[in-house]
Amino acid sequence: MKRIVLIDGENLVYGLRHLLGTDEQKADRSEINGFDFRGLLEEVLQDNLPSEILWFGARLRIYDQNEEIKLKSEGAVRQQSYFVNDIQKQRITFIKVGYLRAREVECEQGHTSWKLTEKGVDVGLAVRIVAEANPDTEIVVVSADTDLLPAFKAATKLGAKLIHIGYEYRPIASLSRAANATRTITIPLARKYKK
């Protein structure tokens, strides 16, 4: 049986930041630099089956509406470049889907600032889940995004074995019910694979 692991990239980063942080605050994004993602997944799955691992993330570009968003988007592009190199060393393929949207938001004090948000990554991931689904494939999905529920249901109808990997701090019952099995990333596991 073929196994493929599909990672909702920003969702996993967000989940790990929660697990590595405190009750009051998520860990800084830099805490994920050098993280051993492959080691974590191999331990969570608890077997020696070979796995193709695909990391889904947004296509980035530099926005130039003003200096603030230009600096933020340049930083995001640099960070992604470093990150992609790091995960490729772990034999994880980075799949660019969706895009990074820049939008102006108003804070509580009435000031405006620019925020970068991924759009369309979950759709690209959902399409891949369904495209890979067949009775000879085990699909492992790392995400806590309930927008993936229709893809989970479609994949199991097509005969794929589906394993959902979620997070200790936020179990998602609907995704777990739609999968054949569920695994959980715990605080001790997140700490173990942080470099």
Residues 113-141: pLDDT tens digits? 777 777 889 999 999 999 999 999 999 99
Residue 1 has a pLDDT of: 85
Cα distance between residue 119 and residue 193, in whole Å: 28
Give whichever of 68-72, 77-81, 169-173 has the largest mean pLDDT.
169-173
Cα distance between residue 58 and residue 10, in whole Å: 9
Which residues does 157 contact at the CB level (< 8 Å), separation at least 6? none
Average pLDDT, the chain: 90
pLDDT band at 60 (very low <50, low <70, confident <90, very high): confident
For 22-140, where are the alpha helices, taking DSSP H only?
37-45, 67-89, 121-132
Cα distance between residue 179 and residue 9, in whole Å: 20
Structure tokens at 10: 């920003």
- 94 closest CA partner among 169, 192, 6, 193: 6
Cα distance between residue 77 and residue 84, in whole Å: 11
**Who wins on pLDDT, 108 or 56?**
56
Cα distance between residue 143 and residue 66, in whole Å: 33
* pTM given for the model: 0.89
Domain extents for the chain? 2-62+89-98+120-192
Cα distance between residue 154 and residue 162, in whole Å: 11
Write out the CATH class of domain 2-62+89-98+120-192: alpha beta
Asked whether 59 and 99 are in contact (CB, 8 A), the reply is: yes
Asked whether 100 and 116 are in contact (CB, 8 A), the reply is: yes
